[in-house]
Amino acid sequence: KTITAKQGEISSELSFTGTIVGEDQATAHSDVPGKLLRYKVQEGQHVSRNQTIALIDRSIPGMEYKPAKVRSPISGTVSRILLDRGAMVAPQIPVAMIVNTRRLKVAFNVSERFRPIIRKGMPATISIDNLPDQEFKGTIDRVSSFVDPTSRAAYAEALIHNPRDLMPGNFADVRVVTETRTNTFVLPREAVIENLATGEHFAFVIEEGKAVRRQLTLGIANDQAAEVLDGISPGDQVVTAGKEFLEHDTEVEVVD
């Protein structure tokens, strides 16, 4: 099986794994110590600023019984319920996590090697495992200039545009296009043969009924395709399937 070599467009990209976090998030705390009576909200529920999200039994002898209220510090979505019913509560103990899901971002690390390549403002594509058929557009919003001496990586954030159906805590893949070239020869990955011992690349081209092995000089590449700087000419018939059975100057019959 073959394809006809022609010019096209190709982009190289880098991929990173991170965690979705809220750009604006806060923890709700009780103002008084006591025992958690119950929550008045559930995870995933939208709440308004100062809305009651839990009741606390403070049971002070000699005082009229009246549960204390834990209120949401911001408007947003309850991302985590942090305590069980009956748990002892104090002002320093967080009761729930609230996040503004209208502005979400992916926090991830960029290795020292790629730190100079990733820049604020670059477009990004975000995907998560539990929504395999959806991709979300985003923008690199922050790249730290500090490289951690232990991990040899810098902290970065990608702001997600229209983050509908996403929640903080999800793992996410971030893909960043680092370079795009047009009007250049592009071959699918399945047409390119790599010699792992030497690092050289080859392809088989059909010439007068024979498979001729051509050495390639590659440019940028991604998971699907590679740019060919030298070794391919316009109109060449390049083998994409069955190349593992070929040797140089093998007589072949091309099938659809």
**Strand-pair category, 237-239 with 225-230:** unpaired
pLDDT at 252: 75
Domain 26-99, CATH among 3.100.10.20, 3.30.360.10, 3.30.390.50, 2.40.50.100: 2.40.50.100
pLDDT at 256: 62
Mean pLDDT by runs of 10 across the 256 residues of the chain is 90 94 90 94 93 89 78 92 94 93 92 94 92 92 95 96 83 93 93 91 91 93 92 90 80 71
pLDDT at 93: 95
Alpha-carbon gap, residue 91 to 156, rounded angstroms: 32
Alpha-carbon gap, residue 202 to 115, rounded angstroms: 31
pLDDT at 16: 97
Alpha-carbon gap, residue 103 to 107, rounded angstroms: 13
- Helix, strand, or coil (residue 244): helix
Alpha-carbon gap, residue 4 to 244, rounded angstroms: 19
pLDDT at 244: 79
pLDDT at 61: 64
Q: Where are the domains of the chain?
A: 2-10+182-251, 13-21+106-180, 26-99
Contacts of 59 (CB under 8 A, 6+ apart): 34, 35, 65
pLDDT at 154: 96
Regarding the domain delimited by 2-10+182-251, which CATH topology (the fold level of the hierarchy) does it fall under?
2.40.420
Domain 13-21+106-180, CATH among 2.40.30.170, 2.60.40.1180, 3.20.20.10, 1.10.357.10: 2.40.30.170
